[in-house]
Amino acid sequence: MKTAHVVLLHRRQRALVLLLGCAAMLLGDPAAAADRAVKRLEEISAGVETLARAVNPAVVEVVVIGFEVSPSGRRSRSLTRTRSAGSGALVDPAGYIVTNAHVVEGAQDIRVLLTPRPDAAAGQSSVLKAGGAVLPATLVGLDLETDLAVLKIADGDYPSLSFGDSEALRPGRLVFAFGSPLGLENSVSMGVVSAVARQLKADSPMIYIQTDAAINPGNSGGPLVDLSGRIVGINTMIFSQSGGNEGIGFAAPSNIVATVYQRIRDEGRVRRGMIGTKAQTVTPALAAGLGLPLDRGVILADVFPGGPAARAGLRVGDLVTRLDGKPMENARQFEVNLYLKEIGSSVSVETLREGGAATTRITVVERPDPAAMFTELPDIERSLIPELGVVAVSLSEEMIRSLPPLRGARGVLVVAESRDATSGDSPLRSGDVIYALNTSRVASVDEMRALIAATDPGAPLVLQVERQSRLRYLLGIRP
């Protein structure tokens, strides 16, 4: 990988020398100008080498043994054991690491391969360096909306990287992608910023930096750095028809990463604010069809009944012109500015309705996030019920509040089916709530396990289950 990178760099050098040499022939002594161009390029190359030596020690490879929840049929999910790898960046000398959520989601065991410090390799003459230490890591928290996660390794004094200002980036700026593509640790690639705010889904609150720096599977979670070695993005995904790099990569902007990192570190998760609305970006076609006075900005497509905005008098169809005095240009801007607000604070919302302007103060509340309950499976061995072929969790009050209305207040929620189960095809589906086994009520996974253990092999297991708000009995056989 290193040789290939040097060859690529030399090709770029030769191309630049050729261009500068042509210019030199027009401006003066060709030989002297060409020599100056070569010297300048050698200085640039040396600068890139220095940058790589400074950044690499803070870049890690993340190896994960875990479980993957995947679709299985129209309404079911199944669970399989997996081994995967990605990259990460040390952002605090105490051992905090930022990576992608999809790298560690469902992890049961996380190992981090450190890069040896430059002084650890002092005195070695071989270009092949000894591998770094392998340390266990714990998952501090993850955020699916931004696809970011924070890990922690044992306390120490580790090399780390600081965050740069992603809003200062402009197309054409040189950037460097670090990580372990396809498991090839300590790889670096060079490119430019292709675009600074790619929105991959309409009205999504998440935007990305687009770059042509080579990013491949395994780079996920690694840092995208600027010429000063500061993190300006976390490499997240690529667009590819072949499965490999085609020059279209995307990184989460560092300003978003820094905010998510700090909130996960402080609270273990990201709490987002809302006022009980669904915003939509106004387009010229939308404005023409609805007869709006503005052909751009933000319209409220929904105002949730009983929510803060509804109580304050906002209505569906209101145009939002400003939030806390800041002009609102699109729905993403509106949503992001809201969820960065402190829970319990208030915001000033300026609206237009039938030509009349109004300003309303609205209290920010925490946005419900049902998916957050299932982003982590902290103890698969305990949650797995092999006799039923499922992974399940005990119902909590938080789950009951977030789920559709249930018939019971205590029970066991099926999170996924397990392909490793001993029971073969299971009649249960993810989302089912189990209330009873045979004639005994069930209030927790531990109770379920104990009841099954007390049943003779070959005996029937009759489950009372709620599925899609309807009760039913499902029959299984004790293996």
Q: Residue 69: what residue type?
A: V
119 included as an active-site residue: no
One DSSP character per residue, 154-206 reads: SS-------B--GGG--TT-EEEEEE-GGG--SEEEEEEEEEEEE-SSTT-S-
Catalytic residue among 78, 84, 87, 147: 147
322: which DSSP letter?
E
Which of these, 100, 142, 145, lies nearest to 272 by C-alpha position?
145
Catalytic residue among 84, 194, 220, 383: 220
3-class DSSP state for residue 246? coil
Nearest-angstrom CA–CA distance, 175 and 215: 12
268: which DSSP letter?
S
Q: Residue 421: what residue type?
A: A
102 included as an active-site residue: yes
Q: Annotate 267-292 with b (16+ C-beta within 10 A) or e (fewer).
A: eebbebbbbbbebbbbeeeebeeeeb
* Chain centroid to CA 196: 18
143 included as an active-site residue: no
Catalytic residue among 78, 84, 87, 102: 102
Nearest-angstrom CA–CA distance, 469 and 443: 18
The residues annotated with a catalytic role in the active site are 102, 147, 220
